Amino acid sequence: MASIVIAQTTVNDETKAYDIARAAVEARLAAGAHIDARMTTFYWWKDAVQHEREYRISFKTTAEKATELQAWVHERHPYEVPQWIVLPTVGTSQEYLAWVEKETTTG
């Protein structure tokens, strides 16, 4: 059986966040996605500290689909260097794992 990962990115536009999240689920690259409430992010960019209002998208997918999902998200992402973080999960129930695996392989 596959393992679940949570893959995350951020965008500064709520509509874009919704579009990416929904389309990734429709494409069966993620079993589900959620968008966190708007947050403020501080980061270094072009030799200066920047800040942005952003939305974090967390995708529930399998470790096997994460690379494909990353390429797909980056093709649609508005940033020059998109955030992409993949977090492993532990203690996932077998039922939930089976659901994620089914929803990312059914087509």
What are 71-104's pLDDT values in tens digits? Answer: 999 999 999 999 999 999 999 999 999 999 999 9
pTM comes to 0.93
The Cα 103–Cα 42 span in angstroms is: 35
Q: At what angle do helices 66-76 and 14-26 cross, to 10 degrees?
A: 140
Q: What are phi and psi of 26, to 5 degrees?
A: -60, -35
Total number of domains constituting the chain: 1
Could you tell me the residue range of the domain that residue 73 belongs to?
4-103
Residue 56 vs residues 6, 43, 93, 99: alpha-carbon distances, Å: 12, 15, 25, 23
CATH of the domain at 99: 3.30.70.120
What does the pLDDT read at residue 1? 64
What are 22-63's pLDDT values in tens digits? Answer: 999 999 999 999 999 999 999 999 999 999 999 999 999 999
